[in-house]
């Protein structure tokens, strides 16, 4: 993630904002820690409408940390679970597990300040990719755009680089590890914001790696 220079006043305002957001979530997190997640969800008394779940595939950096083989395996697994044409036309979209972004159906996305891309540029694979494509490894957004656009083209999907809702800090408090095709915690009022990984779309070895890197 790129570090922006901030004045003292801006830094203080940010710290206060972050503190306030965390405090707002504290009551929810206390209940979850005390009673467990299933009991908490039940206590919300909400009914789940699957039509509200956009069918997203969530991976760190839209899959940038996967090897070529792991990425192709994931696509095969996705195709087993979904209508292939949905990859190109409808509700299915690829995005980072970072939940601060808003996805559009049928789009392969990257997002600004992606931590996964920041990790990748420091790996031998990432460094080699940057060198081969004349990219500055410090320019994480440029690398994210280049890699994701190429993936989108390969899949025949549209591509979009997204701005994050709150670029200065991450307010996620939960990790949603999905073993079902579709889920969107935002469709269930009362669930804490967090990271999501589409476990169902991975070979077990890849999904453990995703979890370790979050």
Residues near Zn ion, by CB under 5 A: 96, 98, 114, 116
Nearer to Zn ion, 32 or 66 (CB): 66
Residues in CB range of 119: below 8 A, 6 or more apart: 61, 65, 126, 213
Nearer to Zn ion, 40 or 160 (CB): 160
| CA R_g for the chain | 18
Q: Report the half-sphere exposure of 22 (CA within 13 A, side-chain side).
A: 10
Residue 96: helix, strand or coil by DSSP?
strand
Rounded least distance, CB 20 to Zn ion, Å: 24
Rounded least distance, CB 118 to Zn ion, Å: 9
Rounded least distance, CB 207 to Zn ion, Å: 17
Rounded least distance, CB 17 to Zn ion, Å: 21
Nearer to Zn ion, 54 or 59 (CB): 59
Give the end-to-end CA distance of the chain in Å, rounded to a whole number: 14
Nearer to Zn ion, 40 or 210 (CB): 210
């Amino acid at each position: 993630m790129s570090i922006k220079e901030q004045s003292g006043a801006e830094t203080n305002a940010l710290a206060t904002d972050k503190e306030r957001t965390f405090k707002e979530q504290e009551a929810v997190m206390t209940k979850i820690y005390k009673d467990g997640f299933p009991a908490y969800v039940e206590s919300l008394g909400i009914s789940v409408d699957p039509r509200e779940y956009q069918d997203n595939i969530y991976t760190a950096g839209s899959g940038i940390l996967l090897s070529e083989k792991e990425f192709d395996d994931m696509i095969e697994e996705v195709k087993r679970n979904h209508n292939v044409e949905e990859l190109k036309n409808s509700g299915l979209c690829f995005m980072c597990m970072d939940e601060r972004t808003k996805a559009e159906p049928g789009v392969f996305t990257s997002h600004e300040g992606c931590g996964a891309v920041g990790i990748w540029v420091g790996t031998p694979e990432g460094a080699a990719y940057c060198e081969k494509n004349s990219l500055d490894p410090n320019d994480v957004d440029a690398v994210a755009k280049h890699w994701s656009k190429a993936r989108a083209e390969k899949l025949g999907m549209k591509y979009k680089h997204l701005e994050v809702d709150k670029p200065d800090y991450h307010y996620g408090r939960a990790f949603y590890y999905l073993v079902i095709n579709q889920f969107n915690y935002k469709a269930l009022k009362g669930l804490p914001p967090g990271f999501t990984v589409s476990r169902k779309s991975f070979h077990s070895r890849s999904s453990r790696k995703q979890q370790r890197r979050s």
